[in-house]
Structure 1
Amino acid sequence: MGRHASLAFLLVAVLVVALAFAAPLFVPRRGIQDLFFILTLLVLAQCWNLLAGYAGLVSVGQQAFVGLGAYAMVGSVVQLGLDPLAGIAVGGLCAVLLAIPTGYFVFRLQGAYFAIGTWVIAEVVRLALAQFKALGGGTGTSLPAPVMRDMWGVGLVSKLFGVRSAQAVDILCYWLAVMLAVGSIVFIYKLLRSRQGLGLAAVRDNQQAARAVGVNALRIRSAVYLISALITGVTGALIYVQKAHISPDAAFSVTDWTAYVIFIVVIGGIGTVEGPIIGVIVLYILQALLADYGSWYLLGLGLVGICVMLFAPRGLWGLVTERTGIQLFPVRRTLTGGPITTPGRT
């Protein structure tokens, strides 16, 4: 049943991706912006889920890579004259360069100390970037309007859809978000299905036992940490290409880039590829329903989170899997074959 469901889901997924790319033809600009928000949060959630759900690394400092990636993009555009799309690649590279030395520090910490260490790093980076007057200091800065109009692909999209450059930027960023979301999900799924993914699961479940069978826990966790930093940095840069304005408080927001992401993964189901997809949809629906209620909105999110953790500890998708056995992205291994026998015994 699970295999048939996976095949059906693959066909549906291909149709959904095709419709996603065609969305600017029939979805208004506001809808495209909402879809961009959903897709970028989904990518961030998949990265955090890879860290916490599969590597056992609970980070509360992912905003460090979002903010640094965004600021690196802005700096490369404003100071070096690069195209914003090229700046997105620079943002991802800078996020990795930050992850290398900081990883050496945080990997010496365990459990809650690791989480606190990642948050401290994010705050240090935020405070440091707030001192750069060339990037607007504490108030931030904006991408120049002429640069946004001349960004690669904007003219083509503008002619194709007959829209102004500002809307063309939204469409182009949305398409990039679709590619980033699809690419990250496929990459993470392939990684988890590989030999490295099996080693990663072993490290998460029992680090000492994994070492005993030859798995290098530090190496595999470090690789996941760097991969997560790269994708998160690229996503942060893309978000602020679309926003076109950046400030330290926004780019390094714990609520926007870590708290919401953790909520998405916990609600959907940590340690599953499907969980963040379900979680981001739930978050968007709750925002649409409760956003006008001020602080009650955050209280509502907290109440939903508590209820899910009490009655569905494995998340909403975990609840579905327990009752139906369906796995859209099957990454778990099962033993097959006859019983194991010991020589000389029957």
Structure 2
Amino acid sequence: MPRTAPSQDDAIRLTPWRVERWTPTARTSVALLVAAQLGLALAPLVLDAGWVDRLTTLFIYAILALMWNALAGYAGQVSVGHQAFFGLGAYAAVRLANAGMSPYPALLAGALAVAALSIPISYLMLRLRGGEFAIGMWVLAALAHLLVNLDTLIQGETGTSLIALQQYDPGTRRLTTYWMALAVMVALGWCVFVLLRSRTGVALQAIRDDEDAAASVGVRVLPAKRLIFVLSAFGCAAAGALWLATSVTFQPKTYFSVQWTAYMLFMVLVGGIGTYEGPIIGAALFFAIETFFGATGVTYLIGLGVVAVLFALFLPKGLWGEFEQRTGLQLLPVGYRLNADPAPARRSQAPTRSTPLENSHA
């Protein structure tokens, strides 16, 4: 019987597919990101004081965006009360510094204390789902605000100051806060990157898509959710402590304001929820908008709300999510992708005897 040429469908079936995570583009992107982070570490040597302060603010925004996206975008736990951890981080730093701890170690120790506190909180909060979880977190933030107001050191809404920072001259304080904010942002960013590329990251995304289905195939739902919940609590607490270092004063009404979670929502929604690059882009965009329009007051806040609603309605994947969907480009891949090797497809036009190595891949 004469041999017929393989059809196009046969060629597709014969084409071996390979699962990829790293691509040349991704490797280049990671190298450029590391170089940029090293450049930012040296930036204060050439930038004036105003830009050092502004970049410190940007780093804090990026921390908040990364942490909220890790919890909501990858684990599906949408919180409208993460200002609780932001405010508690600053409060814990004030308390530790008042007890005699050096101010900058107190910032980190305060964030760690809040992370430890978030563990027992998680046993209650993570049993809630969807809207119940979101409302529960908001109630938690309101309760934390009230309890902090009862502390005589804080003096109610009058607040207090991190007086221990006055032992440093303004230049030293500015540079120390800048480098500490940069270090926390970089460390948390890479921590989230590594976590999402692990088995736990896969489990979190399965929980986000369908928690019951994930549990039915053996995913340990609560431990995975608790891990990302505690990490996000630590990150937001560190951001609150760093914000305290930039402003020195602590007023509960400011630090426990829902506007902080609104900022997180805006940055993640505009950048691209559920993507790694999106929150970074969203933080940079929010930083630029605040720099140019922040002085307009209420109009600025209304504008942020309108933009967030428009993105949720008409561009739900955000800027980077839409770009990634259209181009297939992933700069910092945390998942896998299936790619076809075109070379075997071309060879299928003239079939040859398979080698043992090819058979082993079949």
> Which category describes the TM-score, using the shorter chain as reference length?
0.7 to 0.9
Matches of 1:172 and 1:184 in 2, distance apart?
Answer: 18
Residue 295 to residue 134, structure 1, CA distance change in 2 (3 Å): closer
Distance 1:295 1:289 in 2: 14
Residue of structure 2 equivalent to 1:276: 279
Structure 2 counterpart of 1:157: none
Counterpart residue number, 1:247: 251
Deviations 1:302-345 (A, max 9, x none): 2322332333210000111122211111112235799xxxxxxx
Which residue, out of 174, 180, 188, partners 2:178? 174
Q: Is residue 9 of structure 1 aligned with residue 26 of structure 2? A: no
Written as runs of structure 1 = structure 2, the 5 A alignment for 1:138-149 is 138-144=157-163, 147-149=164-166
Distance 2:171 2:142 in 1: 34
Point out which structure has higher relative CO (alpha carbons under 8 A, 6+ apart). 2
Whether the 8 Å CA contact 1:51–1:58 is kept in 2: the answer is yes
Specify the alignment match of 2:309 in structure 1.
Answer: 306
Match of 1:99 in 2: 118
48, 71, 77: which one aligns with 2:68: 48
Partner in structure 2 of residue 321 of structure 1 = 324
For 2:165, give the aligned amino acid: M
The one-letter code sitting in structure 2 at the alignment partner of 1:188 is: V
Find the structure with the greater CA-based Rg: 2
Deviation, structure 1 residue 61: 1.0
Other-structure match for 1:27: 47
Q: What are the superposed Cα offsets for residues 102-154 of structure 1, whole Å, 9 maximum, x if unpaired?
A: 2222223221111010011111111111111123332111122xx3254xxx5
Q: Quick check: 1:263–1:279 contact (8 Å CA) kept in 2?
A: yes
What value does the CA root-mean-square deviation take over the aligned residues? 1.9
Q: Distance in 1 between matches of 2:295 and 2:233?
A: 33
Distance in 2 separating the partners of 1:28 and 1:3 = 38
2:184 partner letter: L
Q: Distance in 2 between matches of 1:56 and 1:189?
A: 17
What amino acid maps onto 2:79 in structure 1? S
2:129 counterpart of 1:126: no
Q: In structure 2, do the counterparts of structure 1 residues 289 and 148 end up closer, same or farther at CA, with 3 Å as the change threshold?
A: closer
Measured after TM superposition, the shift of residue 279 of structure 1 is: 0.3
Q: Which amino acid aligns with 1:213?
A: V
Q: Is 1:296 matched up with 2:313?
A: no
Q: Residues 49-128 of structure 1 correspond to what in structure 2 (within 5 A)?
A: 49-78=69-98, 80-128=99-147
Q: Is the 8 A contact 2:266 2:282 kept in 1?
A: yes
Hey, what does 1:235 align to over in structure 2?
Answer: 239
Count of residues in correspondence between the two structures: 321
- Structure 1 unpaired stretches of 5+: 155-164, 339-346
Runs of 5+ in structure 2 lacking a partner?
1-19, 342-362
State the TM-score, normalized to the length of structure 2.
Answer: 0.84
Given candidates 189, 211, 231, the residue that maps to 1:207 is: 211
